[in-house]
A and B are shown apart, each in its own frame.
Chain A
Amino acid sequence: MPNIEEFIGDIFSEIGEAPDLLLQYLHAIQHEYSHVPEEAIQLLSERLKTPPMKINAVIDFYSFLHRTARGEYDIRFSDNITDRMLGNQLLFKSLCKKLGVEPDVPRADGKVTVSLTSCTGICDQGPAMLVNGLVVSKLTEKRIHKMVGRIEAGIPVANWPKSLFVVKDNIRRKDKLLNDDIIKGSAIGALAATGGEVMLERLENSGLRGRGGAGFGSGLKWRLCRETEADKHYVVCNADEGEPGTFKDRVLLNSYADELFEGMTVAAGIVGAKKGLLYLRREYLYMREALEKTLQERREAKLLGKKILGHKGFNFDIEIHMGAGAYICGEESALIESLEGKRGIPRDRPPFPVTCGYKNKPTALNNVETFVAAAKIAVFGADWYHSVGTSQSSGTKLLSISGDCERPGIYEYPFGVTIRQILVDCGASDTQAVQVSGAAGSTIPPQEFYRKIAFEDVSSGGSFMIFNQQRDLLKMVLNFARFFTHESCGFCTPCRVGGRLLNDLVEKVMVGYATRYDLKEMERIGQVMKKTAHCGLGSTAPNPILDTLAKFPGIYATRLHNTSHTPAFDMTKALDVSRLLTGREDEGAYVERTDEY
């Protein structure tokens, strides 16, 4: 391993020296040393004139940064509910056993650490894991077995068979966005021909709305950004696709990167930005090299850099910034904080990023899919786009379909498609429920399958997880409750504490100790979170619980304990250690077990 001081010196000379690059330095160090050593923290602290506590706080905030070494092989199993449905739990246990490790604890020889992690966006070909940042999909007992052999033999991951690391696009249905190709540079050419104002009108007329989920008009957003006076403007692409069950951006980044960068460049031309940033989630690190290559090709083709397509004054370039494992960074203001090298804690809004975003400058921040759509609208025009869709939701939407169906993958539909139609197309039968828009979305029962995917009906950021009648939906609820407890940034009490309380109550239902009173508590806590949380994470976290309480009361009712109150823990067990340490076996060393309180 290289000397840390030299290594940090090298990163500084490669990407520059500035406090807002802290997260990028930490990412690089973590990748090289499998943790951020104390020495590195001290060096960074001196060079960046930042207190070590601040650096520690950043490291502790992100799931993929560590202060103790994880070893040569850093393994993380994706633990989304779809991975669980495909049996990841057994494989996880099996790998731990074969390697002789406890979860999250590095093996004594420092060789390997095995952990669980939030959804890695490989739901259509799970169960999935990350090994030193590379994706292994479609895990089986056989793959696990061979993997153990390679680890014990010390074969570097780079020399493992390439077939292990195949991630397919799985595009099952194409519509306008994926079908109609544009020639490289044609969107930028169209912008140059029409000028910013006309192009902006074209976007506004197309009715394009943000594809991350909130659905804010993209044309309006870019106009506000353009009209805010400042010495600098920025364009940022949110590729922090963390919503469980969503993987459409993965496919766009893999196969439509040119269109994405083209869309960002058009946005830059409109708002007057010189610099663009792609915030790539850490789980998608494996795509970074290809994305950098695409950027380089575009620079060589004069589609990025100075004097784009020969137009004087049209200068724009794009940098890739890595995330480090934090769902909250998908929230736009948290993402900006993270881009600035800080913990991803959402800002107070307003002001919104569009007027006061990255480095407090006006920032056009959009989802991957939005930029790809914008590039195509720039070439084909507004009519091309809004000729499909509904009155309030024009164009198409990419859905990431996973769970109980024959053909999971990417489906592009015009807005307005019914849930029933989607289920037929992907080969789902005997469906009990569909979770639309991820853990923070809505749970749709069969009697609502007539509903449409559209901003005005069932709004979706792209996730579509299917559960058949054999599934225990409460497991889904618990999986999401745990997810939110883990991903809460901890800033506001309703989310930090409320999420934990909900998680504990769902567990209480699960083990059969809960009463009607507990269900009422869940409802009450959920409503408090909705009303009072600081950001969208906290206010949507109770959704799966509130939805299932209302629409699937049976999954709770059948597990209730028939009393007004039941203790939250096992009191006999709670005395085990004290009994052992004191050697007491008298009457006072036991608590009578009863449910009547």
Chain B
Amino acid sequence: MNKPLVNEYGSKEKLIVATAPLCGCFGCHMSLLDIDERILQLVELVEFDRSPITDIKDIGKCDIGLIEGGVANVHNVEDLREFRNNCDILVAVGACAVNGGVPAMRNQFDIKECLEEAYILGIGIENPHVPNDVEIPLLLDKVHPIHEVVRVDYFLPGCPPSADTFWKFLTDLINGNTIDFPYSLIHYD
């Protein structure tokens, strides 16, 4: 059993949840929204802080942070650190956050090869040069799972985790139950 996240007096105070997409495809966020009408039950229990769902840009103190995607560039590192600093519980959501996922397929090439292929040597490129605008986040040489950058409390696997997996995870976590998935929620073939 985890400690229930609602306080011991049964306070109705809502838990605060933030979500962030790092280097991923937004599929995990879409899957979260696939809980459909249960989202009405969810907002009874939680309030959303920074998230693409709320479009709030700055994070405040949160109870739960859900991170989709791996760490591929400087912005990802900064966002992730901000989440870690502000969230009591940080969750790696989906294959990219857990393992690096599809973006990490570039890890078998040098970053130099990747950038040159995209911006210099590729077919049909005009004005070949590697973009260097300071607004564009600089790429790390490899894509990393998020636990290689910050401490992570939970790993929610799947590509994406299904809506039911999200639902079970969040309701178990909020109610203080041990997170215990039935096999049907964590098998993938």
A contact residues vs B (CB 8 Å cutoff): 517, 564-565, 567-569, 571, 573-579, 581-584, 586, 588-589, 591, 594, 597
Return A439 CB to nearest CB of chain B, in Å: 27
A565 touches B150 (CB 8 A): yes
A597 touches B81 (CB 8 A): yes
B140 touches A574 (CB 8 A): yes
B138 touches A579 (CB 8 A): yes
Chain B, 123-157, contact with A by CB distance < 8 Å: what is the 0/1 string? 00000001110100111111010011111000000
B132 touches A584 (CB 8 A): yes
Bound-state CA distance A564–B151 (Å) is 7
Q: How many residues of B contact A (CB 8 A)?
A: 26
Stretch at the interface among B2-10, B38-46, B52-60, B107-115: B107-115
Nearest chain A residue, comparing its CB with the CB of B116: A581
B74 touches A591 (CB 8 A): yes
Return A493 CB to nearest CB of chain B, in Å: 12
Query: Contact check: which of A568, A575, A588 meets B141 at CB < 8 Å?
Result: A575
For residue A573, which residues in chain B have a CB less than 8 angstroms away from its CB? Answer: 141
B130 touches A582 (CB 8 A): yes
Return A578 CB to nearest CB of chain B, in Å: 5
Return A497 CB to nearest CB of chain B, in Å: 9
B77 at the interface (CB under 8 A from A): yes
Return A507 CB to nearest CB of chain B, in Å: 13
For residue B77, which residues in chain A have a CB less than 8 angstroms away from its CB? Answer: 571, 591
B50 at the interface (CB under 8 A from A): no
Q: A582-B138, A591-B77 are in contact. Are A569 and B110 (CB under 8 A)?
A: no
Chain B, 166-181, contact with A by CB distance < 8 Å: what is the 0/1 string? 0000000000000000
How many A-B contacts if CB must be within 8 Å? 68
Nearest chain B residue, comparing its CB with the CB of A504: B148
B contact residues vs A (CB 8 Å cutoff): 74, 77-78, 81, 84-85, 110-112, 115, 130-132, 134, 137-142, 144, 147-151
For residue A577, which residues in chain B have a CB less than 8 angstroms away from its CB? Answer: 110-112, 141
Q: A588-B134, A597-B84 are in contact. Are A581 and B115 (CB under 8 A)?
A: yes
Contacts beyond the supplied A517-B151, A568-B149, A575-B140: 20 A-B pairs with Cβ under 8 Å: A564-B151, A565-B150, A565-B151, A567-B148, A568-B144, A569-B142, A569-B144, A574-B140, A575-B74, A577-B111, A577-B112, A581-B111, A581-B112, A582-B138, A583-B132, A586-B134, A588-B74, A588-B137, A588-B138, A597-B84
Return B93 CB to nearest CB of chain A, in Å: 18
Return B74 CB to nearest CB of chain A, in Å: 6
B110 touches A568 (CB 8 A): no
Q: Which 7 A-B pairs have the closest CB atoms?
A: A565-B151, A568-B148, A582-B132, A597-B150, A574-B140, A578-B138, A581-B130
Bound-state CA distance A134–B18 (Å) is 63
Bound-state CA distance A288–B86 (Å) is 66
Q: A588-B74, A597-B81 are in contact. Are A574 and B142 (CB under 8 A)?
A: yes
For residue B147, which residues in chain A have a CB less than 8 angstroms away from its CB? Answer: 568
Query: Contact check: which of A568, A578, A586, A597 meets B140 at CB < 8 Å?
Result: A578
Q: A577-B110, A597-B149 are in contact. Are A582 and B131 (CB under 8 A)?
A: yes
Nearest chain B residue, comparing its CB with the CB of A566: B151
For residue A579, which residues in chain B have a CB less than 8 angstroms away from its CB? Answer: 138
Nearest chain A residue, comparing its CB with the CB of B84: A597
Bound-state CA distance A292–B113 (Å) is 51
For residue B134, which residues in chain A have a CB less than 8 angstroms away from its CB? Answer: 584, 586, 588-589
Bound-state CA distance A597–B149 (Å) is 7
